Amino acid sequence: MGLSCGIVGLPNAGKSTIFNALTSSNVPAESYPFCTKDHHTAVAEVPDKRLQDIGRIFGVTNITPTHIEFVDIAGLVKNAHSGEGLGNRFLHYISEVDAILHVVRCFEDGEVAHVEGRVDPVGDVEIINTELLLADLEKAERQIQKHVKVATTGDKEAKRLVEVLTKIRDGLTRGTFARQLGLEADEIELVKDLFFLTLKPVLYVANIGEADIKDPGPNLTELKRYLGQKGEPLIEIAGKLEAELTEFGEEDRASLLKDVGLAESGLTRLVRKGYELLGLITFFTKERGDVRAWAIKHGTKAPQAAGKIHTDFERGFIKAEVFTYEELMRFQSEDELRKRGIVRTEGKDYVVQDGDIIQFKFNV
């Protein structure tokens, strides 16, 4: 798929525990700082009930979900932007991902050390965010110095770049992340290859204890208040519990989740939110007894969506026959949809929508 969510946070916030549960990996998750000394990458299936529904109607058992890539990045500490705690190396890893899942420790556990010696979710968020901000501020300053001489000669592109960099630098100086500055699409395009950390979308993940599920403790309550005031998205997940539940079968897992007051796994919600954070939607295809989900960015046109399947599909694109998941659920048969004239023929300018079921026609 090529798009990834980087999992970041302070050491011992539970990043690797959540990563392991998400991806069924076996990354070390011990209770001491810098247990994760490298970055680890794995993929997780994106749960989507629609895929099973489509397979049932088509009488197909071979179904293939889409996936999302997660990167477990070692814990950051104060002064990471200046190299503390392997900071430069891992700030670089963050620059390579498309979105950030910021894991914040809310659970209390005397056996799991906290790098700052206390559990303080708001303080932890501010430490990480300060490091990201300072790293970007240094980058913005360097880039302004690099391009300002050319800009003063009348080079329009360099002048525009310096203007955008100055806007970002000034915002960061005020404590405002680049993504919060309301940059226009063309401004973002100008700086996209600079990989500003604070320009990336962020989802905060409160790693809670099992007791917090039914009765949120003060750590979670304070974090929700703090992020709520800033309009930042937050999802709660009991990382240790979720990791333990991955050892059980689907039915037992559902029963155990119900016992602790959860309608569905926090991992399921986290994957879905990560998918949304990356700006992805899903379309479906049925070919030779296989029903498959495909991930594309919002706004993708039909030929480029076809290219996700095979480059020949995009190169030789003729048309797309399209109907929606909702239409299929209503009439329970593709033949019935065709009889009623519901199946549409779309051309190269059609923007694929979430839930479209598509058969591409091409000629190479």
Domains of the chain: 4-276 (3.40.50.300), 299-362 (3.10.20.30)
Which stretches of 76-120 are DSSP H helices? 87-95
Cβ proximity of 16 and 112 under 8 Å = no
Tokens describing residue 268? 């399921």
Residue in this structure with the two tokens 């991992």, named with its chain if needed: 267
What is the CB neighbour count within 10 angstroms for residue 284? Answer: 22
Q: How far is it, in rounded angstroms, from Cα 74 to Cα 89? A: 10
- Mean per-residue pLDDT of the chain: 88
CA angle 173, 175, 176 (to 5 degrees): 105
Q: How far is it, in rounded angstroms, from Cα 54 to Cα 32? A: 46
Cβ proximity of 119 and 206 under 8 Å = no
How far apart are the two ends of the chain, measured CA to CA in Å?
24
Percentage of residues in the chain having pLDDT higher than 70? 90
pLDDT in tens, 156-192: 999 999 999 999 999 999 999 999 999 999 999 999 9
Residue 130 clears pLDDT 80, i.e. is over it: yes
- Residue 78, classed as helix, strand or coil, is coil
Average pLDDT score over residue span 264-286: 89
Which amino acid, residue 261?
G
Position 85 confidence tier, pLDDT thresholds 50, 70, 90:
very low
Position 29 confidence tier, pLDDT thresholds 50, 70, 90:
very low
Q: How far is it, in rounded angstroms, from Cα 125 to Cα 102? A: 8
Using DSSP bridges, classify how beta strands 317-324 and 67-72 pair: parallel, antiparallel or unpaired.
unpaired
- Looking at residue 118, its pLDDT comes to 83
Q: How far is it, in rounded angstroms, from Cα 93 to Cα 7? A: 10
- Lowest-confidence region among 214-228, 267-281, 298-312, 349-363: 267-281
Q: How far is it, in rounded angstroms, from Cα 103 to Cα 236? A: 10
Q: What sign results for the dihedral spanned by CA atoms 22, 23, 24, 28? A: negative
Residue in this structure with the two tokens 């539970």, named with its chain if needed: 14
- Looking at residue 34, its pLDDT comes to 42
Cβ proximity of 83 and 20 under 8 Å = no
Cβ-count burial 206-235 (b if 16+ within 10 Å, e if not): bbbbeebbeebeebbebbbebbeeeebebe
Closest listed residue to residue 358, CA positions, set 28, 346, 348: 346
* C-alpha Rg value of the chain to the nearest Å: 23
Q: What sign results for the dihedral spanned by CA atoms 56, 60, 62, 68? A: negative
- Looking at residue 28, its pLDDT comes to 45
Q: How far is it, in rounded angstroms, from Cα 233 to Cα 264? A: 19
The pTM for the full model equals 0.83
Q: How far is it, in rounded angstroms, from Cα 277 to Cα 290? A: 28
Class of residue 288 by CB neighbours under 10 A (exposed 0-12, middle 13-18, buried 19+): exposed
